[in-house]
Chains A and B, each alone.
Chain A
Amino acid sequence: ILNVEQSPQSLHVQEGDSTNFTCSFPSSNFYALHWYRWETAKSPEALFVMTLNGDEKKKGRISATLNTKEGYSYLYIKGSQPEDSATYLCAFGGYQKVTFGTGTKLQVIP
């Protein structure tokens, strides 16, 4: 069983604050690390896919980094807005295998 862990489990921030959370994954047999955004009552939507150690991706106010040697990825949100409220999932892609973490639930308070 692959351990993909996300922390914190939940997070409340004030509008305008910047925040970040962590995904930890096995450092062996690594193929890709995905981040998904999952709004309540909707389906998960892909944010980033990263495959190389040191990768950094950015989409608007959201960015992510990847360290495959130590097995972690960070997701950053700059200047959080209420519409950023969602659960953020990471997924570890191994050889013909994908394992999701349990997510970080973010609530941005106006």
Chain B
Amino acid sequence: DAGVIQSPRHEVTEMGQEVTLRCKPISGHNSLFWYRQTMMRGLELLIYFNNNVPIDDSGMPEDRFSAKMPNASFSTLKIQPSEPRDSAVYFCASSFRDPTYEQYFGPGTRLTVT
């Protein structure tokens, strides 16, 4: 298996633009997680899906952030409109069933909002 795939790997955009990050989990994994890494807060969980259903979105910063998982092999994280404080590395991870199983992380998307 290729592991968790994220795209793009790097994204530079201007403030106010819409940004869409993409993730393909490992085949057969039922849980998908979106994280944000910042210097101040470390690794923050944004949202967790199980069987394509959002289970915990308490970490989503505000209404500008939205996440979808239309099927078992694809998820998106959208920021609209983007702001400079959204600049961070965004990781997607998947696990076999639920948070008791180890997570496999993608390579991350480095987002820079100018």
Q: Tell me which of B55, B104, B106 contacts A96 (CB under 8 A).
A: B55
Q: Does A28 contact B (CB under 8 A)?
A: no
B42 touches A43 (CB 8 A): no
Q: Which of A18-26, A58-66, A69-77, A98-106 contacts B (4 or more CB under 8 A)?
A: A98-106
Smallest CB separation, A91 vs chain B (Å): 8
> What's the interface size class on A, roughly?
20 to 34
Secondary structure of the A side of the interface?
Answer: strand
B45 touches A98 (CB 8 A): yes
Provide the residues of chain A in CB contact with B71, threshold 8 Å: none
In the bound assembly, the distance between CA atoms of A97 and B56 in angstroms comes to 7
Q: Tell me which of A32, A99, A101, A103 contacts B45 (CB under 8 A).
A: A99
Smallest CB separation, B89 vs chain A (Å): 9
B99 touches A94 (CB 8 A): yes
Q: Does B12 contact A (CB under 8 A)?
A: no
Q: Does B103 contact A (CB under 8 A)?
A: yes
B56 touches A46 (CB 8 A): no
In the bound assembly, the distance between CA atoms of A45 and B4 in angstroms comes to 12
A97 touches B103 (CB 8 A): no
Find the B residue at minimum CB distance from A96.
B55
A46 touches B104 (CB 8 A): yes
Provide the residues of chain B in CB contact with A96, threshold 8 Å: 48, 50, 55-56, 98-99
Q: Given A44-B43, A89-B43 in contact, is the A51-B104 Cβ separation under 8 Å?
A: no
Which residues of B pack against A, CB within 8 Å? 33, 35, 41-43, 45, 48, 50, 55-56, 91, 93, 98-108
Which residues of A pack against B, CB within 8 Å? 31-32, 34, 36, 43-46, 49, 51, 89, 91, 93-94, 96-103
20 A-B pairs in the complex with CB atoms less than 8 angstroms apart: A31-B99, A31-B100, A34-B102, A44-B43, A44-B93, A44-B105, A49-B100, A89-B43, A91-B103, A93-B100, A96-B55, A96-B99, A97-B56, A98-B103, A100-B35, A100-B42, A100-B43, A100-B45, A103-B42, A103-B43
